[in-house]
Amino acid sequence: MIRITKKLFSLVPKKFKKSIVQTQIFVLINAGVELLTVLFLAEFINIFILNPLTNSSSNTTSIIFFNNFSKNTLFFYTVSIFLIKILFYLILQFAINKTSYKIQETIREKCLHKVLNIKKTLFNNSDDDINLLLGHSDNFGNLGLLTYYRISSEFFIISVLLIGITYQNIFVGIIIITSGIAIYLLFSKLVRTRINEISKQISKARTKQISIINQSVFNKIHIFFLNKSEIFTSKLKAYSVDFSKNSSVRNIYVSSTRIFIDLIFLLIVFFIFNSANLISDNFNGSEISFIVLSIFKILPSLSSLMSSVTNFRTSEYSLDELNKLLLIKKEPLKEAANRKSLSRNNRLEVLNLEFSYGNNEKIINNLVFSANQGDLIGVYGPSGSGKSTLIKLLITLLHPTSGDIKYDGESIYLNEKKWIEKIVYIPQNVNVFNFSIKENISLDENKVDIKKIEDALHKVNLNRFLENADRDLNYEIDNSAENISGGEAQRLAIARSFYHDKEIIIFDEPTSSLDKENEIKLLDEISVLKKEKIFIIVSHSEDVKNYCDKVVEL
């Protein structure tokens, strides 16, 4: 528990620490209000129910906390404390949920920022990233922080009620406290390890569900024409069965624990109140009512505490995954200490480049080529020949085993910061975003240069896209690409590169999703635009090769 709590709070941003403390104080006050409620209700039962049944003539309270209240005073305070309890409970729940969801969304934002800004995460499996941003972040809030508050709330309520019982009768208090500790230790020994294992299986099954849904939806057109949807629905069913099965087993453990606790405590109550010698001398009606009410209040609280502990342990896997990502430090891009002003020759040189993973065979062996402004370089080779590796070397995600890549005479690995400012990588499946056209190009909500956007659109012939349909720069693009074609999406990515003054544009299979006509149109436009840039295109297309100034064979 302590280990998981440390992991949980290591993720909480500093600006929320004060809110956490304030909420904890509210939780403690709520426990005190619960104690007062039980005290008042116990005395209320004694005066208004037990005394009439036993023909007692006493009309005043007997528990010393109330200092002999009258019936009317007791009635007024009992109703008042119940109303206060309800109001305070609602305020507490609002505060807990508001704080938890704010922290959860902040964690999600931090994770997204890491995924988008750390070089080593750029080629991570997208399904794992989605599960982090959705599944694990939700688990942080629902199974982690909210459950932590529930545990602390139930713990404080149980504690103050046990203090109250012990104050009334130390023997009964000791029996209940000892029984509670024994139940917890037994629970921990019998089911904790099993529940932790099940929780990991649940999380893995959820990751697989997200993965198959993401992959099948992304390729739905391809699947439709192959008429092979059954394999995807079958696998989703298998993963869902695995998820449901493990979730059900976990819930059975939780429910069984709750039933076990209820039975044990009922036996304790039976034992206590069937000990005639214990009751006759040491108890009055108010004290009996208080202890019985406290025990029956402790029962659901203890059950809730145990199930919450189970859920809290379930969150550990998600907390570990979130910590793993958030602890990754952004490596500062190398920048030459005494960097002289770079000349503007815009010349790229790949010099005797070699790369291998560990001691394995070289993926790239003695690669040499150069490019100047205005060049279109084509990179070709069979699968496994090193095309993706070359891209990673060009964007400095990998460093060569030997050799170098220079731009304007300076190694890109010695001055990564300046190099990153000059290049852009456009993946095979370029995406548009659910933004306006101007935001899709500028990727900024505030600082937008309209004239520069218009120039970029004109260069890639997307101004016709606006004019023909009477659209403007505020036109919202649908990320499903139903209102923009594949060729237009590629041109939008190029326009984005022009707007951000990139000098080198690296394409990965830019025409693979285009028909012949649109492929030729895009290549014609690139051949005109290349005079201002260096274009590097990784491709299998023979048509692309015909447009290249140089072809690099791997």
- Name 90's Cβ contacts closer than 8 Å, sequence gap at least 6: none
Q: Are 133 and 110 in contact (CB under 8 A)?
A: no
- Name 147's Cβ contacts closer than 8 Å, sequence gap at least 6: 308, 311, 312, 315
Residue 226 CB coordination number (10 Å): 10
What was the pLDDT predicted at 406?
Answer: 92
C-alpha span between 117 and 415 (Å, rounded): 18
User: What global pTM score does this model have?
Assistant: 0.69
Query: Locate tokens 């790239």: which residue?
Result: 364
Q: What are phi and psi of 424, to 5 degrees?
A: -145, 140
**pLDDT, mean of each 10-residue run, the chain (554 residues):** 85 86 85 81 73 55 55 80 85 84 86 77 68 79 85 84 80 77 71 73 77 69 62 80 80 67 67 55 64 77 77 81 81 59 71 86 89 90 86 89 91 86 82 78 83 86 73 73 70 84 86 75 82 87 85 88
Looking at residue 368, the DSSP 8-state letter turns out to be E
Domains of the chain plus CATH, in order, are 2-326 (1.20.1560.10), 347-553 (3.40.50.300)
Closest CA to 27 of 159, 142, 140: 159
Q: Partners of 507 in the beta sheet?
A: 426, 537
Closest CA to 423 of 493, 504, 494: 504
Number of H helices, E strands in the chain: 22, 9
What was the pLDDT predicted at 439?
Answer: 85
Q: Which residues of 441-471 are buried (b: 16+ CB within 10 A; e: fewer)?
A: bbeeeeebeeeebeebbebbbbeebeeeeee
Q: Which residues of 241-262 are buried (b: 16+ CB within 10 A; e: fewer)?
A: ebbeebbeebeebbeebbebbe
C-alpha span between 94 and 89 (Å, rounded): 9
Q: Partners of 424 in the beta sheet?
A: 505
- Name 70's Cβ contacts closer than 8 Å, sequence gap at least 6: 59, 60
What was the pLDDT predicted at 368?
Answer: 92
